[in-house]
Amino acid sequence: MTTARRYEPATVTIKEGDTVTFSNTSEEPHSVTAYEGRIPAGARYFSTGGFSTEEMARDNVSGGLVQKGDAFEVTLTKPGVYEYFCVPHENQGMKGEIVVEG
């Protein structure tokens, strides 16, 4: 998560069962929030703040923010594409995807 309000890299490819770490190197807080309808069927939903749905994450923005110097990790065990975004900066294009290969 960068000061340019981007995830770098925007697309990451991992193996099934790998963990992705999102580190906030920006001066401002960001979130990592999965699009509920854009993750593989049956996959576990993820978001900073531990919310279980996208709606909950959108309704409590401050509860899901990652501050400068902090990190968020997610382990993905189901192959497919996981799309995610930053709630406060979604409209500015802060989006990314994780491709999980089986």
Cα angle: 55, vertex 98, 56; to 5 degrees: 10
Is 1 annotated in the active site?
A: no
Active-site entry in 26, 89, 96, 97: 89
d(CA 76, CA 24): 20
Is 100 annotated in the active site?
A: no
Active-site entry in 32, 57, 74, 86: 86
Is 86 annotated in the active site?
A: yes
Active-site entry in 34, 94, 98, 100: 94
Strand ranges inside the chain, DSSP E: 11-15, 19-23, 33-34, 71-75, 80-85, 95-101
Is 30 annotated in the active site?
A: yes
Active-site entry in 24, 30, 84, 88: 30
**Enzyme catalytic residues:** 30, 86, 89, 94
